[in-house]
Amino acid sequence: MYNFDKTANRLETSSLKWMYPDVLPMWVADMDFDTLDIVKDAIKKRVDLGALGYTNTPDYYFDAFRDFWIKRHHVDFKKEWMIFSTGVVPAISSIVRRVTKINDRVLVLTPTYNIFFNSIINNHREVSQSDLIYDGKEYKIDWKDFEARIKNGVRMLILCNPQNPVGKIWSRGEIERIGKICYENNVVVLSDEIHCDIVTPGMEYIPFASVNDINKQISITCISASKCFNLAGLQGACVVIPNEKIRKLVNRGLNTDEVAEGNAFVYDAFSVALNKGEAWLDEMNKYVYNNKKILRNFLNENLKELDYHFGDATYLAWVDCKRITDDTKFLCEYLKDKAKVYFSYGEEYGVNFKTFIRINLATSKENVTEGLNRLLKGINLYKEEYKK
């Protein structure tokens, strides 16, 4: 029904992802797929009104999120729990400032989204990192290390649910255990669930706040239509907080930081995507899943030195290059310059992941194939130059 082989020409549009004109970008986590027509129509309709002034957040914006999460994820986020924010990242930075104090420790499970580190460090808090353990099949929490860190002055956990970049869908048991440990130690859990709708067909993620009353009382959940429908440029999100005391604190922070008011387009665009875009989302997930299989098969046939963990969530691939290099920051720059393809380097997501790269597969299979051919070419050049 939808043509995901068709991608928008984003050159000369001030696109961050496509900022290098002669380089195929497989780094920044946004899609190249054509935006839903119903979203375009909603934006055009708003433009045709002829006035683009200040806009209040309408109830139908929250209704769209609520209905979508009830239908797709079997959880009822009450409307009174919900607050608008201009994005998940601005919300996280504001929440860190409001819920923790200067020099407090904030825990992350690494590898994890690199901007979490910025939100902590830039606000003069201390990052505590607990590395996930890879057992050859999946990534798991090091519970001994996790609990020790929680008990060592941590005031907040920023959880990536599902996990970016490894693509892990946390199990109900894992989420319950995280919640129990955090509750017993008076730690608030900020759950970034922006990737939750990008999953292997037939699989579902579990919202952190949905598993029990304990998790509900300690949770701040950030959700958005921006990642799954590729609407990040419209700048919108929803912060869900069941606990009234925490909600009042966060609401005041979001307003004080001036990140609680949307632009004239975001409400209609997000609402129509959530209300009517589910078929597109399901097809997109199938397409991305096939791109993951293309990557796996290509590496198995052509680049056996690279180890790919096939994650069940996100459109990102986490690839270990340890048999090629222990410095993928250098490797990624080399590939950009020599092979004209660009990936994210692992050290961005945790100091102990310098052998990894992250590959964005939310593009046409033609681009994926071309990008992998360039990767092969670049790796061969790199080995000739540096592995003698």
- Residue 388's pLDDT is what? 53
Using alpha carbons, select from 115, 292, 325 the residue that is nearest to residue 198.
Answer: 292
- Residue 1's pLDDT is what? 84
The mean pLDDT of 127-148, rounded to a whole number, is 96
- Residue 137's pLDDT is what? 87
- To the nearest whole number, what is the mean pLDDT of the chain? 97
CA distance 319 to 60: 41
- Residue 252's pLDDT is what? 98
The mean pLDDT of 193-197, rounded to a whole number, is 98
- DSSP, collapsed to helix, strand or coil, labels residue 128 as strand
- DSSP, collapsed to helix, strand or coil, labels residue 353 as coil
* Paired tokens of 216: 């509900």
The mean pLDDT of 81-104, rounded to a whole number, is 98
Domains of the chain: 24-36+278-383 (3.90.1150.10), 41-276 (3.40.640.10)
Task: Centre a 10 Å sphere on the Cβ of residue 28 and count the other Cβ atoms it contains.
Answer: 14
The mean pLDDT of 355-378, rounded to a whole number, is 98
Report residue 200's pLDDT band, with 50, 70 and 90 as the boundaries.
very high
The mean pLDDT of 198-207, rounded to a whole number, is 97
CA distance 277 to 227: 13
Report residue 8's pLDDT band, with 50, 70 and 90 as the boundaries.
confident
> Could you tell me where the DSSP H helices lie in the chain?
37-48, 59-73, 88-99, 115-121, 143-150, 172-184, 213-218, 244-256, 266-276, 278-302, 328-338, 365-386
Report residue 359's pLDDT band, with 50, 70 and 90 as the boundaries.
very high
The mean pLDDT of 147-156, rounded to a whole number, is 97
- Residue 14's pLDDT is what? 93
**Percentage with pLDDT > 70 across the chain:** 99
362 pLDDT more than 80: yes
Of the listed ranges 10-19, 126-135, 195-204, 221-230, the one predicted with least confidence: 10-19
Of the listed ranges 136-140, 199-203, 217-221, the one predicted with least confidence: 136-140
Query: pLDDT for 259-279, tens place per residue?
Result: 999 999 999 999 999 999 999
The mean pLDDT of 380-386, rounded to a whole number, is 94
139 pLDDT more than 80: yes
